[in-house]
Structure 1
Amino acid sequence: MKIEWIEDFLALIEAGTFSQGAERRHVTQPAFSRRIRQLEEWLGVELIDRHSPRLTLLPHAQAYEASLRDWLAHLYALRGRIRADAAHGPRGILTTQHTLTVSYLPRLLLYFRRHAPQARLQVKSSDRNECIRDFQRGAADLLLCSEPDGAPLFVERTNVQRVQLGTEQLVPVCAADLFGQPVFDLDSKAPLPVIGYEPNSFLGGMLSSPYWLDLQRHYDIELVCETSFTIGIRELTLSGLGIGWLPHGLIESHLLTGKLVSLAERLGGPMLMVACYRQPDVGAASVDTLWESLHDRPPKV
Structure 2
Amino acid sequence: MELVWLEDFSALAEYGSFVRAAEARHITQPAFSRRVRSLENWMGVELFVRTPQGATLTAAGKQILPSAQETARRLYRMRSEAQEVAGTAARTLQFSATHSLSFTFFPKWLRRAESGAPIEAVRLHSDSMAICEQMLIHGQVQFLLSHRHPDVPPLLAADQFISKKVGEDVLVPLASASAHFGTSPATLPYLAYTQESGLGRIVAHRLHGKEDFLHLKPLFSSHLAAVLMSMALESKGVAWLPSSLTEQEIADGRLVRALDESWDIPLDIHLTRPTAPISPAAEEFWAKLGA
Aligned to 1:229: 224
Q: Counterparts of 1:32-43 in structure 2 under 5 Å?
A: none
Q: Is the 8 A contact 2:84 2:91 kept in 1?
A: no
State, as a whole percentage, how many aligned pairs show the same letter.
19
- The residue identity in structure 2 corresponding to 1:228 is H
- The residue identity in structure 2 corresponding to 1:207 is V
C-alpha separation in 2, matches of 1:145 and 1:295: 18
C-alpha separation in 1, matches of 2:185 and 2:129: 37
Q: Is the 8 A contact 1:116 1:293 kept in 2?
A: no
Give 5+ residue unaligned stretches, structure 1: 1-81, 178-182, 297-301
1:93, distance to aligned residue in structure 2 (A): 1.1
Gap change, CA 1:86 and 1:163, over 3 Å in 2: same
Query: Could you give the per-residue CA deviations for residues 164-199 of structure 1, whole angstroms, max 9, x where no partner exists?
Result: 12332221001114xxxxx33552588222222235
- The residue identity in structure 2 corresponding to 1:272 is L
Aligned to 1:163: 164
Does residue 280 of structure 2 align to residue 280 of structure 1? Answer: no
Gap change, CA 1:266 and 1:186, over 3 Å in 2: farther
Q: Secondary structure at the match of 1:245?
A: strand
Query: Could you give the per-residue CA deviations for residues 41-82 of structure 1, whole angstroms, max 9, x where no partner exists?
Result: xxxxxxxxxxxxxxxxxxxxxxxxxxxxxxxxxxxxxxxxx6
Aligned to 1:61: none
Q: Is the 8 A contact 1:211 1:270 kept in 2?
A: no
1:117, distance to aligned residue in structure 2 (A): 0.2
Aligned to 2:255: 260
- The residue identity in structure 2 corresponding to 1:236 is M
Matched length: 210
Root-mean-square deviation (Å): 3.2
Give 5+ residue unaligned stretches, structure 2: 1-82
Q: Is the 8 A contact 2:98 2:126 kept in 1?
A: yes
Does residue 138 of structure 2 align to residue 137 of structure 1? Answer: yes
1:122, distance to aligned residue in structure 2 (A): 1.6
Aligned to 2:15: none
Aligned to 1:21: none
C-alpha separation in 2, matches of 1:209 and 1:141: 28
Q: Counterparts of 1:128-207 in structure 2 under 5 Å?
A: 128-153=129-154, 156-158=157-159, 160-177=161-178, 183-184=179-180, 187-188=183-184, 191-199=187-195, 201-207=197-203
Q: Counterparts of 1:61-80 in structure 2 under 5 Å?
A: none
C-alpha separation in 2, matches of 1:173 and 1:187: 14
1:257, distance to aligned residue in structure 2 (A): 2.2
C-alpha separation in 1, matches of 2:150 and 2:108: 22
Gap change, CA 1:220 and 1:121, over 3 Å in 2: closer
Q: Is the 8 A contact 1:125 1:131 kept in 2?
A: yes
TM-score (norm 2): 0.61
C-alpha separation in 2, matches of 1:267 and 1:288: 40
Structure number with greater Rg is 1
